[in-house]
DNA sequence: TATATTACTGACCAAGCAGTCAGTAAGGAA
DNA sequence: TTCCTTACTGACTGCTTGGTCAGTAATATA
């Protein structure tokens, strides 16, 4: 007659706890987040949480890893397999990806990385290896492909592919800090930047 | 004969405590910083610290305010009083300012703002009013001056002067996170960006 | 239905910390 | 030298919180 007090759902618990933790960390930061609060959000007791994650720190690392990996993997395989020209790719899938980031709920990850990253060197190392350096490499390949087939001329972008993504991070920071004070139309903002970059590096075709 | 156990230096204490707090907050973040630690770094007892700052939060706000104000004030009055052309100013004083930020020790302020800002709305409001909106306005004026006297053509920069400063913040983030993993030559990086922007907005002078 | 297994709970503890305050001593005034 | 003001100290406290573990109840098995 009585509802069971809980269900046993070994498979789903880690993902549920991780999602709850992302929300909590995003709201309060790592140090100010109470493990009890995470457990409550996940609808679980603190004891169970500690069954799946050895410490608060382990939980934090799991959060970062589980939310970032899928996105970057998608972009990179996209770059490698596309049949579009470099410019078409930059104006198409890349721009779409770039514009989606500041809107995604995962944008709070930047806050977490900045605030807590430096205290977890192995996390930074993982992030560098699996996300950043792979991303940079993919971008550089894309640009060089453009140079090789005469679409682009040689430019600072060859050395600094990061110049393409600066407005993404700026938009993230802006939204994180000044959301209520000022709207930034991130689509237009990022679009204008990509446009500017392409204008300067496009080989003359007149 | 015996050294006095302490000196009374009412005038200097606040600045000393503020400096110590910046170091401590930068290292550990706000929540993880112990007031005792700040006091120790400042060579002062915790009790004295609470004489000058009502709470830990007040101390935090004082830190941000006291380190940011002077820098932005200098830049803005510089823009207003310069006799250089817009391009000369951007390639000269502006570029110098931009390149100096990622090297300055105050770069950790970004970390603090991102991590803790959203929990202190009045701090964000102050920052918006005294730093960001003033800075944006100054930049916009500079660009419009360039447009008016025929140096620049109309462009997305008129609406988004922020496009000029994105690589500064990117450099800050990069250094904050990946300092040991990868060096970024921020001078060249920011220089390349400013160059790119100027190339696209410069009116034809051939 | 009886028994075994284990996912899960929640009360508990030891440690750490923001903020207080009664008392101390530096340094100026007389 | 003596007295007075106040900058300064540091022990103390009440509360918070990461992590533990003995016990409970949901499911699998026979």
Long-range contacts of A178-186 (CB under 8 A, 24+ apart): A178/B124, A178/B128, A178/B132, A181/B124, A181/B125, A181/B128, A182/B128, A182/B133, A184/B162, A186/A99, A186/A102, A186/A103
What are the residue ranges in chain B where pLDDT is below 50? Answer: 1, 206
Chain A residues in contact with B128 by the CB 8 A cut-off are: 178, 181-182
Q: According to the model, what pLDDT value does residue B71 have? A: 83
SS3 B182: coil
Q: How far is the CA of B179 from the C1' of D18 (A)?
A: 31
pLDDT tens by residue, A154-172: 999 999 999 999 999 999 9
Q: Which two tokens stand for residue B121?
A: 């709305």
Please tell me the predicted confidence (pLDDT) of residue A206: 47
Domain architecture of chain B: domains with CATH: 1-53 (1.10.10.60), 56-201 (1.10.357)
Residue A2: its pLDDT value, please?
Answer: 59
Which pLDDT belongs to residue A5? Answer: 80
pLDDT (mean) for A40-66: 94
Residue of B70, B121, B133, B118 lying closest to B97 (CA atoms):
B70
Tell me, what's the pLDDT at A70?
Answer: 84
Q: CA B40 → C1' D2, Å?
A: 35
Note the pLDDT of residue A6. 86
d(CA B21, CA B43): 12
- The four Cα atoms B108, B114, B116, B117 give a dihedral, to 10 degrees, of 110
Chain B: residue whose CA lies nearest to A115: B115
* Separation of alpha carbons B117 and A114, rounded Å: 13
CB A86, CB A143: distance < 8 Å: yes
Nearest to A114 among B115, B155, B166 (CB): B115
Closest CA to A31 of A120, A133, A130: A120
- The per-residue pLDDT for range A86-95, each reduced to its tens digit, is 999 999 999 9
Residues of B in contact with A140 (CB under 8 A): none
| Rounded CA separation B28/B136 (Å) | 31
Comparison of pLDDT for A71 and A18, the residue scoring more: A18
Nearest residue to A30 (alpha-carbon basis) of A106, A122, A110, A112: A112
Provide the 8-state DSSP code for B202.
B
- Chain B's closest residue to A197, CA to CA, is B196
Q: Look at A63-67, A185-189, B142-146, B192-196 and tell me which has the smallest mean pLDDT.
A: A63-67
Q: Which residues contact B43 (CB under 8 A, 6 or more apart)?
A: B16
ipTM: 0.86
User: Do residue A110 and residue B114 have CB atoms under 8 angstroms apart?
Assistant: yes
For residue B205, what pLDDT is reported? Answer: 60
What is the Cβ-side half-sphere exposure of residue B140, based on CA atoms within 13 angstroms? 11
Q: Residue A160 is nearest to which of B30, B133, B189, comparing CB atoms? A: B189
| CA–CA separation, A64 and B178 (whole Å) | 16
User: How far A96 CA lies from chain B's nearest CA (Å)?
Assistant: 19
C-alpha A43: how far from chain center? 27
**Residues of chain A above pLDDT 70, percent:** 98
Q: How far is CA A197 from CA A80, A137, B115, B196, in A?
A: 21, 18, 31, 7
Specify the DSSP class assigned to residue B204: P
Q: Are A46 and A55 in contact (CB under 8 A)?
A: no
pLDDT tens-place string over residues A103-153: 987 788 899 999 888 888 988 998 999 999 999 999 999 999 999 999 999
Q: Please report the pLDDT score of residue A205 as a whole number.
A: 60
B51-105 pLDDT, tens per residue?
Answer: 999 999 999 999 999 988 888 888 899 998 999 999 999 999 999 999 999 998 8
């Amino acid at each position: 007659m009585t509802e069971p007090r809980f269900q046993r759902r070994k498979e789903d618990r880690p993902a549920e706890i991780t999602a709850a933790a992302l929300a909590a960390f995003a709201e309060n930061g790592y140090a100010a987040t109470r493990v009890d609060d995470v457990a409550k959000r996940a609808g679980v007791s603190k004891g169970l949480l500690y069954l799946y994650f050895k410490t608060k720190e382990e939980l934090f690392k799991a959060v970062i890893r589980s939310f970032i990996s899928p996105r970057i993997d998608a972009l990179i395989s996209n770059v490698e397999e596309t049949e579009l020209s470099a410019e078409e790719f930059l104006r198409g899938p890349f721009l779409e990806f770039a514009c989606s980031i500041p809107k995604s709920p995962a944008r709070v990850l930047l806050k977490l990385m900045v605030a807590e990253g430096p205290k977890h060197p192995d996390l930074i190392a993982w992030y560098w290896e699996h996300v950043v350096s792979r991303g940079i490499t993919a971008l550089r390949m894309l640009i060089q492909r453009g140079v090789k087939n005469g679409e682009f001329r040689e430019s600072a972008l060859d050395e600094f592919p990061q110049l393409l993504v600066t407005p993404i991070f700026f938009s993230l920071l802006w939204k994180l800090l000044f959301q209520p004070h000022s709207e930034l139309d991130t689509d237009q903002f990022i679009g204008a930047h990509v446009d500017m970059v392409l204008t300067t590096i496009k080989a003359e075709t007149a």
